[in-house]
Amino acid sequence: MKQIQQSILESDLLEKYLMGTTSEEETLRAEKYIEMYPLVRKAYDELQDNLEFYAKSHAVPVPDGLKGKILTQIKKGNRAGNRFTRFAMAASFAILVSAGASYFFWSQNKSLQEENTLVNAKIDNLQEEMREQLEDVRNQFIVLQNPETKKYKVTGNTKAQELKAVAYVNPVKKLSYLNVSNLPNLPKNQCYQMWAEVNGEMLNLGIIKEADQKLLALPYSDNAVGYITIEPEGGNDSPTVENIVANIAY
Amino acid sequence: MSMLLEKHIVELLQERDEKAISLLYEHYGSTLLGVAHKVLRNEELAQDVLQESFVKIWKKSDTYDASKAKLFTWLFRITRNTAIDKLRSVKTKSDKEIQINVSDVYNLGVNSTRPEFMDVRDNLGKIESKYQIVLDALFFQGMTQQEASDELDIPLGTIKSRLKIGLRELKKIYGPVMLLIPALKLFHILSS
């Protein structure tokens, strides 16, 4: 142990530590040795005494007024420090409030933007729908008002004698519509379905739900034939010929 | 400084009582100014450094740990480092702007006529310069014993012996006075 202490004392570690020029690692080492080894502690204490003693022997008289300057500066620093603390607290509070408000407005803005996008999409859809409907109505109007348009009265056969419909066909504009005005009631498991035979091909035009006075557009072709059949509920892929209740040649 | 007075000042520092700075200045002001002066060799700059050092001492007072260093050692480190920083900063400026007196002769100003300092100055001359050089290198220039040995081209063993002899000589001259002054000051403080 004496040897270790001797090697510590012979090194420069204590002097460097005394002057405050040690690295972090050296500082820890020096403090550990001073605590562990009494001889090292004694040497360090002696070094401190010698330093104080030697420094005192080089004392230089302090000028008048310097003490006052130092004390004033310290007092000023304390006041500034207090002011700074108060300012820092106020600033921190302001930042907190501002951050909270920012988050609130940001989240509100985000939700409004989302809502706005949704509303815009709905408006676009409605516009498109309206445009389509307007186009439809315009076409219907053209067809119905056109002098070339021929009107055909359609009645049901024996299977549906009460069926009444009117077909409008315009060979010039190549447009045709069907207006079903009366449909006899059917059992719940059956429905009326509309078909059109165009250029030898049978097209499914969908189920006629009720006599709603709406014009049903028919695909136009020369010598096309429209059929109304009774089909099982939900409609059929191909018409059941024996269940034809009306045909419209247009 | 007496242990009792040192303890009293440390307590005041920890309580953030400005009276601590006043007491430190009274007891260590001239010594610390001497430290700054020794490093900078310029009266005006040394006074600036002393002022900056006391502000640092006040600000860092909660970092002082009596188990790791005596109060003076802590004050010395702060003052010496502040002085070295100042020296570096003025060295980077043009030599024409700031003239640093590189002479070893101190410009002590009007206060140097004060008798207690005259004694110190006179008696310092009584120590042989070969001891003073070693003590200066170790305490003020911050050299380690090995560095002093290399720098001064003196064997390490001689550095160690000159340090011991130099300090012994110094103590012979100032020992009784240095011990008496703080004792009288403490008596003055406690009785006031």
* pLDDT tens column, A200-227: 888 888 888 766 667 777 777 777 888 8
CA-to-CA distance for A172 and A41, rounded, in angstroms? 119
- Determine contact: B165 vs chain A, CB below 8 A: no
Give the end of a domain, one of A96, A117, A145: A145
Question: In this structure, which long-range contacts are made by residues A238-241, counting pairs with CB atoms below 8 Å and at least 24 apart in sequence?
Answer: A238/A202, A239/A193, A239/A195, A239/A202
In this prediction, residues A19-32 reach a mean pLDDT of: 91
The CA–CA distances, whole Å, from B92 to A95, B35, B44, B51, B87 equal 41, 21, 18, 21, 9
CA-to-CA distance for A202 and A236, rounded, in angstroms? 12
A61 → closest Cβ in B35, B55, B112: B112
Give the end of a domain, one of A145, A160, A192: A145
Residue of chain B whose alpha carbon sits nearest to that of A73? B55
Residue of chain A whose alpha carbon sits nearest to that of B26? A67
Axis-axis angle for helices A38-56, B71-92 (nearest 10): 60
Check CB contact under 8 Å for A59 and B108: no
CA-to-CA distance for A100 and A91, rounded, in angstroms? 14
The CA–CA distances, whole Å, from B118 to A85, A187, B84, B115 equal 47, 132, 27, 5
- Determine contact: A128 vs chain B, CB below 8 A: no
Indicate whether A166 and A236 sit together in one domain: yes
The residues, any chain, with a CB within 8 Å of residue B10's CB and separated by 6 or more, are B20, B64, B66, B71
A202, A195 in Cβ contact below 8 A?
Answer: yes
Indicate whether A22 and A49 sit together in one domain: yes
The CA–CA distances, whole Å, from B139 to A15, A134, B107, B125, B187 equal 9, 102, 21, 18, 30
A37, A4 in Cβ contact below 8 A?
Answer: yes
- The residue ranges of chain B whose pLDDT is under 50 are 94, 96, 98-118
The CA–CA distances, whole Å, from B51 to B5, B41, B54, B79 equal 22, 16, 5, 10
Label the pairing between strands A150-155 and A164-170. antiparallel
Give how many domains chain A has, as a whole number: 3
Indicate whether A79 and A132 sit together in one domain: yes
pLDDT in the model for residue A72: 92
State the sign of the Cα–Cα–Cα–Cα dihedral A61, B9, B174, B132. negative
Indicate whether A179 and A227 sit together in one domain: yes
A44, exposed or middle or buried, with CB in 10 Å at 0-12, 13-18, 19+? Answer: buried
Q: Cα B161 vs. chain centroid, distance in angstroms?
A: 22
pLDDT in the model for residue A47: 87
Indicate whether A162 and A79 sit together in one domain: no
* Predicted confidence (pLDDT) at residue A171 exceeds the cutoff of 90: no
- Determine contact: B84 vs chain A, CB below 8 A: no
How many angstroms away from the CA of B187 is the closest CA of chain A?
A: 20
* Predicted confidence (pLDDT) at residue A29 exceeds the cutoff of 90: yes
* Contacting residues of B for A12, CB less than 8 Å apart: 144-147
How many angstroms away from the CA of A115 is the closest CA of chain B?
A: 57
A93-142 residue pLDDT tens: 888 888 988 989 999 999 999 999 999 999 999 999 999 888 888 877 87
B144, A15 in Cβ contact below 8 A?
Answer: yes
- Determine contact: A55 vs chain B, CB below 8 A: yes
How many angstroms away from the CA of B191 is the closest CA of chain A?
A: 23
CA-to-CA distance for B21 and B28, rounded, in angstroms? 10
Check CB contact under 8 Å for A55 and B72: yes
All CATH 1.10.1740.10 domain ranges in chain B, comma separated: 1-103
Domain B1-103 has CATH 3.40.50.970: no
Label the pairing between strands A164-170 and A201-208. unpaired
Indicate whether A76 and A47 sit together in one domain: no
In this prediction, residues A169-174 reach a mean pLDDT of: 78
Q: What value, to the nearest 5°, has the Cα angle with vertex A221 and ends A218 and A224?
A: 75
pLDDT in the model for residue A82: 61
A166, A186 in Cβ contact below 8 A?
Answer: no
DSSP structural state of residue A196: E
| A235 or B91, which is more confident | A235
Indicate whether A165 and A122 sit together in one domain: no
B123, B173 in Cβ contact below 8 A?
Answer: yes
Residue of chain B whose alpha carbon sits nearest to that of A70? B51
- Determine contact: A59 vs chain B, CB below 8 A: yes
Domain carrying residue A36: 2-56
Indicate whether A92 and A17 sit together in one domain: no
Indicate whether A138 and A163 sit together in one domain: no
All CATH 1.10.10.10 domain ranges in chain B, comma separated: 108-179
Rg of chain B over Cα atoms, rounded to whole angstroms, equals 18
Structure tokens at B39: 């490093």
Structure tokens at A42: 């004694």
- Determine contact: A1 vs chain B, CB below 8 A: no
Indicate whether A154 and A245 sit together in one domain: yes
A230, exposed or middle or buried, with CB in 10 Å at 0-12, 13-18, 19+? Answer: buried
Strands (E), chain A: 150-155, 164-170, 175-182, 190-198, 201-208, 215-218, 225-232, 244-249
Domain B108-179 has CATH 1.10.10.10: yes
* Contacting residues of B for A40, CB less than 8 Å apart: none
A228, A246 in Cβ contact below 8 A?
Answer: yes
